[in-house]
Amino acid sequence: MQGIYSLNLITPHSFLTEVIKWLNEQSLETFFNVQVTNDFVLFPDHHLVLHLNSIPSVSMKNGGELLAITEQFQLQNIRCIHLWEDIWMENTELIKSRVMAMLGQSKRIHGRQTKVVKLDKPVLTTFLNQNHLQGSPTAKYKYGLVHKGSLVAAASFSAGRPMLREGQTYQSFELVRFANLHSHTVVGGLSKLLQHFIKEQKPDDIMTYADRDWSMGEGYQKLGFTHIGNTAPLPFWIHPKERLRYYSTRLPDHLSNEFKNQDAFKTIDSFMEAKGYVRIFNSGNLKYLLLINR
């Protein structure tokens, strides 16, 4: 890991210390041959590395910094998880659950032991807010897997959209979200939900995105999805003390209105930095497509 770019940190040790403390409490450091270097926690036996990003003291110039780290590890067949301090603070238990699952330390349930059910919006929203780092956006179709009366996985899909491909119009749907229950892994769960959705809605294709901060997309490839492109890293504004992040294009009303009603700063960037915010980027997404009717 020598020579890899590391962010200029405000609190260079507190975030790392907290994560290492958790690893020690779980006896993971010994059991998984954990190696710690600067802001990286490497699990060599599982080809996994956590890149711990504290909130930087100055704005990042672009999203290429994290992507360079991702690609350098990918060349070594190592999945790099870019874990931000604010995400850890807001979703500590969920992140612990995801990391443990990647290390094979979750309760496994076979998909054949579950039953597919339709979910209403409140049930899906509650489940995804508790079990998915990006919450529950709008979706048309909502399904879950039930095991012994408990919801253990859920997936949501968009409405169909007409898409032109090779001179023909196809009905394309999006897999919007999939999540397992906290501390559980439903083996074959996503495959079972996909097959049920395909049988009911008869899509011509299904597209989806994999978050490059967390995934190399290998799970989708195993299900028959094809990698068709990437989306660019997205910028966010975050305040070191508040630890609240905002999309650059979707600032809250109080900040947008304050910028419009002042004359001191000509650009939103200079205004936000004067307010104490710094700009960070995620790693973008991998875009995948599952062709059903070719």
121 with 92, same domain: the answer is no
3-class secondary-structure state, position 220? helix
Percentage of the chain modeled with pLDDT above 70: 92
114 with 93, same domain: the answer is no
- Provide the pLDDT for residue 31: 56
Domain stop point among 82, 102, 122 = 102
Residue 222 lies in a domain: no
Residue 27 lies in a domain: yes
Residue 252 lies in a domain: yes
Segment-wise mean pLDDT, segments of 10 residues, the chain, 294 residues: 36 72 73 70 90 88 90 93 94 95 94 98 98 95 98 98 86 98 97 98 97 95 97 94 88 91 90 94 96 86
For residue 147, give its domain range: 107-203
124 with 144, same domain: the answer is yes
Question: Could you tell me the sign of the dihedral formed by the alpha carbons of 186, 221, 44, 177, in that order?
Answer: negative
What is the count of structural domains for the chain?
A: 3
3-class secondary-structure state, position 159? coil
Domain stop point among 102, 131, 165 = 102
* Sole residue written with tokens 């990698």: 227
114 with 190, same domain: the answer is yes
Cβ atoms of 161 and 172 within 8 Å: the answer is yes
Order of strands, edge to edge, in the sheet holding 48-53?
A: 35-37, 40-43, 48-53, 79-84
197 with 111, same domain: the answer is yes
- Provide the pLDDT for residue 18: 86
**Whole-prediction pTM value?**
0.88
Return d(Cα 267, Cα 205) in angstroms, integer: 42
275 with 252, same domain: the answer is yes
Phi-psi sector, 188: left (phi>0), alpha (psi -120 to 50), beta: left
98 with 111, same domain: the answer is no
Per-residue pLDDT of 232-283, as tens digits, reads 999 999 998 888 899 988 999 999 999 999 888 889 999 999 999 999 999 9
Q: What is the CATH number of the domain that holds 76?
A: 3.40.960.10
Q: What is the CATH number of the domain that holds 145?
A: 3.40.630.30
133 with 178, same domain: the answer is yes
Residue 226 lies in a domain: no
